[in-house]
Amino acid sequence: MVPTNEYAADVVIAGGGLGGVAAALAALRNGLRVILTEETDWIGGQISQQGVPPDEHQWIETHGATKGYRDFRTAVREYYIRHYPLLEEAKSRKNLNPGDGIVSRLCHEPRVAVAVLQDMLNPYISSKQFTLLLEHKMVSADVTGDRIRALKAVSSRSGKEIVLSAPYFVDATELGDLLPLTKTEYVTGAESKHETRELHALDQADPDNQQAFTVCFAMDYVPGSQNIIDKPKEYDFWRNHVPKLTPGWSGKLLELNYSNPATLTPKPLGFHPEGIPTGKALNLWNYRRIINKNNFKPGTYSGDITIVNWPQNDYMLGKVTDVSEATFNKHVNRAKQLSLSLFYWLQSEAPRPDGGQGWPGLRLRGDVMGTEDGLAKYPYIRESRRIKAVFTILEEHVGAANRALLTGKETGNAAANFYDSVGIGYYHIDLHPSSSGNNYIDFGSLPFQIPLGALLPKRTENLLPANKNIGTTHITNGCYRLHPVEWSIGESVGMLVAYALRKKVIPRVVREKSTLLEEFQQMVRSQGIETQWPKQEN
């Protein structure tokens, strides 16, 4: 009999973000017993606890993601149709977008994502095939040679320690937390041109050079009301802060302008909380709007609801990987102060079209984010520790300009064809300003594949990554870190565990033996995972 403080399963997954949930669902539908731990009290990662509506490509409604991810998106729409007082016109719309946000064809509330993901997992919880441990953080590992035997987790609510054992472990945490715990080799920050030959790499490697993270928040607007919060304690600092970047930022951080990511020239932004157009400038209110009140019956909402994940609340003053807990908390708390300062500035000082200042009717919506302070439960992390992988994806594989430079114009319009592809995805390469003072790195990529080799650590035999911790570089992380790609990575990893257990081989052997690889690729395709792009996109 297993002691009450020990749990055993076929696979233990750390991290309940999209990659972790997708890995769990894939393993569960293939008959495995799964334990999943999540540090917060919400599953969903960037789409829920971090408050980031999905960043997706233009083909997402029909292809370019797994069937499982598209099923999730369909379920989100159906949730609104079943439970919300939508207007008939909105309800009958083929591709309902509750917020009509510019950033996505499906801008929706974090709570709805949590509800849908929970519904997908509930049957397995009921049958005891799946154990979900919320508010649990991994703290140590039992490792022998190249294999992990068990992980220890601690409940943040009770302080109770539990030991989790399994033949396989999946690191789906936001920062790659299992890599140092298990002594799995990894890299952080930026590689050099000498190392990777990448067109946009730095001249010198910098492990501390990591993208900004963001503490997002939700807000709405009630005209005529007074909702101004207490002045944040760091407001004066952030109100006058000018980012020290190379090339330089366009002015103060808390202004309605920023550096154009593609050209790094100053670019104006607009803001009007009633969605009114702001000339040629993008109205930030509409950018990540998750509720458009005009989609719902009159009186349902007093105003729209939008998510603030803008250039103005990107935190660039320090990294959060491989630092002490005190340093991590210091940076996260300062990032929270930045977001609260931005909100206070919008309420009290932001320029209005009528020549006035501030929008006091803006209101923090902590109820939307599931928090008391109105901010997201967890910071939006763009860059993690990355495994030293059997195969590393370079800019020459997916970057449009780098690929054309190396392969010529004829083949430069297609990403590399990976013989071991286990998924596909697309997003332009988008790196935000960094902790070492680099401004945006933003340029075109090509619809790409997810190679199995990038999911395999060079040495550790029974640990697999399922988030932003796969075998990318600092540069290629910029297009492999978004919602549908993370899901696809997790789903393939969950299936790889099932296949490796069935065949009684370690995952590296699946890639090394052509018959096993072909059979595994057939397996993933049979379960709704595309491994190649249609010719017109590739």
Q: Three-state DSSP class for 311?
A: helix
Residue 343 sits at the vertex; the CA angle it makes with 340 and 348, to the nearest 5 degrees, is 120
What is d(CA 53, CA 98) in angstroms, rounded to the nearest whole number? 11
Residue 247, preceding bond cis, omega within 30 degrees?
yes
Count CB-CB contacts under 10 A for residue 454: 25
Gyration radius of the chain's alpha carbons = 23
Residues 176, 186: Cα–Cα separation, whole Å: 9
Q: Is 406 exposed, middle or buried (0-12, 13-18, 19+ CB in 10 A)?
A: middle
Which pLDDT band holds residue 535 (cuts at 50, 70, 90)?
Answer: confident
**Where do the structural domains in the chain lie, given as residue ranges?**
6-190+382-526, 213-369
Q: What is the pLDDT of residue 466?
A: 98
pLDDT for residue 408:
72
Q: Amino acid letter at 236? A: D
pLDDT value of position 409? 63
Q: Among the listed ranges 13-27, 48-62, 208-222, 400-414, which one has the minimum average pLDDT value? A: 400-414
pLDDT digits (tens, 9 = 90+) for 182-232: 999 999 999 999 999 999 999 999 999 999 999 999 999 999 999 999 999
What does the H/E/C string look like for 204-215?
CCECCCCECEEC
Cα angle vertex 222, ends 220, 225, to 5°?
130
Cα→Cα distances 356→219, 290, 326, 348, Å: 21, 27, 41, 10
CA-to-CA distance for 107 and 46, rounded, in angstroms?
13
Q: Which residue has the tokens 């997706």?
A: 56
Among candidate residues 95, 93, 102, the one with its CA nearest the CA of residue 275 = 102
DSSP string, 429-444: EEE--BTTSB--EEE-
pLDDT tens digits for range 460-505: 999 999 999 999 999 999 999 999 999 999 999 999 999 999 999 9
Q: What does the block give as tokens for 314?
A: 């990107």
| Cβ atoms 178, 463 nearer than 8 A | yes
Q: Give, in degrees to the nearest 5, the angle at Cα 69 between 65 and 70.
A: 80
Distance CA 7, CA 471 (A): 30
What CATH fold (topology level) applies to the domain 6-190+382-526? Answer: FAD/NAD(P)-binding domain (3.50.50)
Q: Which residues pair with 247 in a beta bridge?
A: none
All residues at 6 or more sequence positions from 6 whose CB lies less than 8 Å from its CB, including other chains: 162, 163, 164, 165
Buried b (16+ CB within 10 A) or exposed e, 226-239: ebbeeebebbeebb
Distance CA 528, CA 29 (A): 13
Query: Taking residues 277-304, what's their average pLDDT?
Result: 96
Residues 8-23 pLDDT 10s: 999 999 999 999 999 9
**DSSP codes, 9-76:** -SEEEE--BHHHHHHHHHHHHTT--EEEEESSS-SBGGGTTT--PPP--TTTTTSSS-HHHHHHHHHH
Mean pLDDT of all residues belonging to the chain: 96
How confident is residue 538, by pLDDT bands cut at 50, 70 and 90? low
149: its two tokens: 């035997």
Length of the chain: 538
Q: What is the pLDDT of residue 315?
A: 98
* Residue 322, CA distances (Å) to 189, 326, 460 in order: 11, 12, 20
Under the banding of pLDDT at 50, 70 and 90, the label for residue 4 is low
In the predicted model, is pLDDT for residue 536 greater than 90?
A: no
Q: What pLDDT is recorded for position 411? A: 55
User: What average pLDDT score do residues 495-523 get?
Assistant: 98
Whole-angstrom distance, CA of residue 508 vs CA of residue 473: 20
Query: What pLDDT score does 1 carry?
Result: 40
By the 8 A CB rule, do 346 and 338 touch? no
pLDDT at residue number 537: 67
